[in-house]
Amino acid sequence: MVKINENYLKLEKNYLFIRIAEKVNAFQKANPDAKLIRMGIGDVTRPIAPVVVDAMKKACDEMGVKETFRGYEDSGAGYDFLRNAVSDYYRSFGADVPASDIRINDGAKSDCGNLVDIFGDDNIILITDPAYPVYVDSNLMNGRQIVYADSNEENQFAAMPAPDGYELNGQKVFPDIIYLCSPNNPTGAAYSKEQLAEWIAYAKQHGAVILYDAAYEAFISEDNIPRSIYQIDRAKEVAIEMCSLSKTAGFTGVRCGYTVVPSELKTMASDGTEVSLAQLWNRREGSKFNGVSYPVQRGAEAVFTPEGQKQVKENIIYYQENAHVIAETLKELNIPFTGGINSPYIWFKCPFGMDSWTFFDKMLNEIAVVGTPGAGFGKNGTNWFRLTAFGDKDLTIEAMNRLKELVKNSQ
Amino acid sequence: MVKINENYLKLEKNYLFIRIAEKVNAFQKANPDAKLIRMGIGDVTRPIAPVVVDAMKKACDEMGVKETFRGYEDSGAGYDFLRNAVSDYYRSFGADVPASDIRINDGAKSDCGNLVDIFGDDNIILITDPAYPVYVDSNLMNGRQIVYADSNEENQFAAMPAPDGYELNGQKVFPDIIYLCSPNNPTGAAYSKEQLAEWIAYAKQHGAVILYDAAYEAFISEDNIPRSIYQIDRAKEVAIEMCSLSKTAGFTGVRCGYTVVPSELKTMASDGTEVSLAQLWNRREGSKFNGVSYPVQRGAEAVFTPEGQKQVKENIIYYQENAHVIAETLKELNIPFTGGINSPYIWFKCPFGMDSWTFFDKMLNEIAVVGTPGAGFGKNGTNWFRLTAFGDKDLTIEAMNRLKELVKNSQ
């Protein structure tokens, strides 16, 4: 008889955003006239740039003509025109990433979830807490053991490596695979070059691989914050980097991202032979992925042109201004927070000593503003709350005015 | 230290089509003036239908306007407009598949590879031989044991279930997961309703799940050949079906397909609780997939409109005429073959008692025609060869003329 993967039964039933959606739906049913403002799920609201629309439409036309029609991509790793554009983009901020180390994907979520397939189930995983739930779930699905590095108020939500290891079942262990996300989802905190160098040294010391999520790099505004882990020496020997156009260029509905597995990244099989992780990953993708839609790849290419960069930066500035509005409100209310400077996320301490789901309900029911309870990202989020700057400017201002009223009236 | 998934080291180094590409590249380098005709990889050559191009361009325009912009899909399972269109399409040939059982994907290959994640690694897999290599590789990657059902000249390349089970390590075993592909890649053979009913009864008897690959259903021209396994009674209790627009509508470069996991498909966990496979699959996809590009989904929707069906059928008829040309040539040469009637694939016995890689080299080097050696699909393909009808009509005729010469001159 068929046997299921029983690890799935150990996963939490409700994915964070599904639970939120249920609560929001119930609220809307009970309050059909309420003017709801959504600052919860990290989705963008600005349309995609005109150069991207034009490039995609041109590619659609090409697909309708025999002479320019494109079928399967040879490798499924992405067309050279796009891999080269991504490589040039990396070079523009000082990271040397050859096109051959880059694979184009349909958004970072797929690769983030699927990359773990090339690793054994007996690896110990280190995840910062709070974190994007996909890091946790995609490892629990294979029954891997997870240890957590606390990101909290004390370290400004930027967990650093523990020299003595992490506790697992009463023993101290060192992780084999380390997830880092900077600028961080959900906290908005970003690692400096020195901090990343420390993580790289730690990974090298313990033979660990870093899975680096750079999905929010386009929001970095401070000079000493690296856009890519490959701006740090020797990162290529330990780190895989995932990035996406979802937040950079509003591609949440267009679907395109990229993953870098450097050719320098080698490890050893149990029999002592050297193994290239890029080769394993290419083998995995060669069997389970057939490449990204051609018109989408042309749209992504347009993002990296000078005109594309100009247009997508206008949207990023728009969101950064929202982040500023949120940050100024929290300062005014004397509420501690991280993020908002190098990130579209603002992570703040729930007022009134509330836990985050209680504060979520209060915000929803009293001022019709939807945020994301920090508890959904791990235990260090229990009393914290995430707002995103991806909304409409007027609505963001309106929501912050409502928040001010809420806090003042409840004091 | 990080541990790799060592199952990857047991995979064959060269994926079939990569090995072919290497041989073809070497030939072209040595013979720059040769007029190569490609009848190997199963890629289409006709452009996508005008209604599809228009629908995609319209959707690109929508993405460029704030009011009609779309970000993340709520569920990632596909927009209702497309899931409903697929459900209606199923109904048009007598299969009752509700939209809620359908997930839209970026092509059947991803789901075909990823579906196995929801099953335990201790399942025994049954794959017909010859078969699409992805079935084998995606299970070897998890260390699952595979048994094979022989499709051969004797049973007209339509393997039927073995009542006494299959041999594995000297013992008779019954499979837990059964891969069926009809119309078959590579053989072009298609199961009748009676044959599928037999497989369904076998799966029910042994508590097995059938993974049914219907990627070539649009090429079925005979009445008694089902387009979907759900045209057969009780199939929903045992079968998952994967389908794709790649061959139906030339979407190999556009990337869209769909998978059906019926709500009726239940199994038991080791503790005896009932488990819905659809729920496991949705959980997997919820964590590792973020839905298909919106413009691509609009393009797919257009395929299922009356005008879309008319336009894509013109291309299918074009390919069917190619298949007819190939079939007639093989008949004239007295070469045994299957396929070509309900399939774009023609599977024939290599002339001169040659093995398939030797015949591949002969075709390539003597008449500059590229096909696919049957050996790449399993041991029963050792002396067989696959040609596809996806090429240009004139080139298909030209290739068949060259084949006639080759066979006559070698006799």
pLDDT digits (tens, 9 = 90+) for B139-179: 999 999 999 999 999 999 999 999 999 999 999 999 999 99
**Residue A242 distance to chain B (closest CA, Å):** 14
CB contact under 8 A, B293 and A291: no
Task: Provide the ipTM.
Answer: 0.96
Q: How confident is residue B311, by pLDDT bands cut at 50, 70 and 90?
A: very high
Q: What digits encode the pLDDT tens for the residues B384-394?
A: 999 999 999 99
In the predicted structure, residue A100 carries a pLDDT above the cut 90: yes
In the predicted structure, residue A6 carries a pLDDT above the cut 80: yes
* pLDDT confidence of residue A411: 75
Average confidence score pLDDT of chain B: 96
A394 near B CB under 8 A: no
CB contact under 8 A, A275 and B4: yes
Cα distance between residue A45 and residue A205, in whole Å: 43
Task: Using a pLDDT cut of 90, give the percent of chain B over it.
Answer: 95
Give the residue, A293 or B17, on which the prediction is more confident: A293
* pLDDT confidence of residue B41: 77
**Residue B103 distance to chain A (closest CA, Å):** 16
In the predicted structure, residue B336 carries a pLDDT above the cut 80: yes
Q: What digits encode the pLDDT tens for the residues B58-103?
A: 999 999 999 999 999 988 999 999 999 999 999 999 999 999 999 9
For testing contact with chain A, the best of B125, B127, B283, B293 (most A CBs within 10 A): B293
Cα distance between residue A150 and residue B309, in whole Å: 56
Average pLDDT over residues A322-349: 97
Task: Using a pLDDT cut of 90, give the percent of chain A over it.
Answer: 95
C-alpha distances in Å from residue B379, one per residue of B149, B332, B364, B383: 11, 27, 22, 9
Average confidence score pLDDT of chain A: 96
CB contact under 8 A, B290 and A110: yes
Average pLDDT over residues A58-66: 98
The third-level CATH classification (topology) of the domain covering A52-305 is Aspartate Aminotransferase; domain 2 (3.40.640)
Domain ranges of chain B: 6-47+308-410, 52-305
Q: What digits encode the pLDDT tens for the residues B339-375?
A: 999 999 999 999 999 999 999 999 999 999 999 999 9
Looking at 1.10.1660.10, 3.20.20.210, 3.50.50.60, 3.90.1150.10, the CATH number of the domain B6-47+308-410 comes to: 3.90.1150.10
**Residue B144 distance to chain A (closest CA, Å):** 12
Average pLDDT over residues B20-27: 94
The token pair at B322 is 């190619």
Tell me the Cα Rg of chain A.
22
In the predicted structure, residue B121 carries a pLDDT above the cut 90: yes
pTM of the entire predicted model: 0.96
* pLDDT confidence of residue B154: 97
Give the residue, B261 or B16, on which the prediction is more confident: B261
A38 near B CB under 8 A: no
- Contact list in A for residue B282 (CB cut-off 8 A) is none
CB contact under 8 A, A176 and B1: yes
Number of A/B CB contacts below 8 angstroms equals: 265
* pLDDT confidence of residue A13: 67
- Contact list in B for residue A43 (CB cut-off 8 A) is 71-72
Q: What digits encode the pLDDT tens for the residues A220-270?
A: 999 999 999 999 999 999 999 999 999 999 999 999 999 999 999 999 999
The minimal CB distance from A107 to the residues B114, B119, B290 is found for B290
Other Cβ atoms less than 10 A from the Cβ of B102: the count is 24
Backbone angles phi, psi at B249, to 5 degrees: -135, 20
Decide: B309 and B303 in contact? Cβ < 8 Å: yes
Average pLDDT over residues B239-243: 98
| Rounded to 5°, angle at Cα B88 from B83 and B92 | 150
For testing contact with chain B, the best of A15, A287, A289, A370 (most B CBs within 10 A): A287
Decide: A158 and A195 in contact? Cβ < 8 Å: yes
Q: What pairing do the DSSP bridges indicate for beta strands A124-129 and A177-181?
A: parallel
* pLDDT confidence of residue B14: 61
| Helix (H) or strand (E) segment spanning residue B121 | none
CB contact under 8 A, B3 and A176: yes
B344 near A CB under 8 A: no
Q: What digits encode the pLDDT tens for the residues A26-37?
A: 999 999 999 999
Task: Using a pLDDT cut of 70, give the percent of chain B over it.
Answer: 99
Average pLDDT over residues B299-316: 98
Q: How many helices and strands, by DSSP H and E, does chain A display?
A: 11, 17
Average pLDDT over residues B239-266: 98
A41 near B CB under 8 A: yes
Q: How confident is residue A128, by pLDDT bands cut at 50, 70 and 90?
A: very high
Fold match flag (B6-47+308-410 vs B52-305): no
The token pair at B214 is 């219907």
Other Cβ atoms less than 10 A from the Cβ of A87: the count is 21
Cα distance between residue A200 and residue A234, in whole Å: 8
Decide: B186 and B372 in contact? Cβ < 8 Å: yes
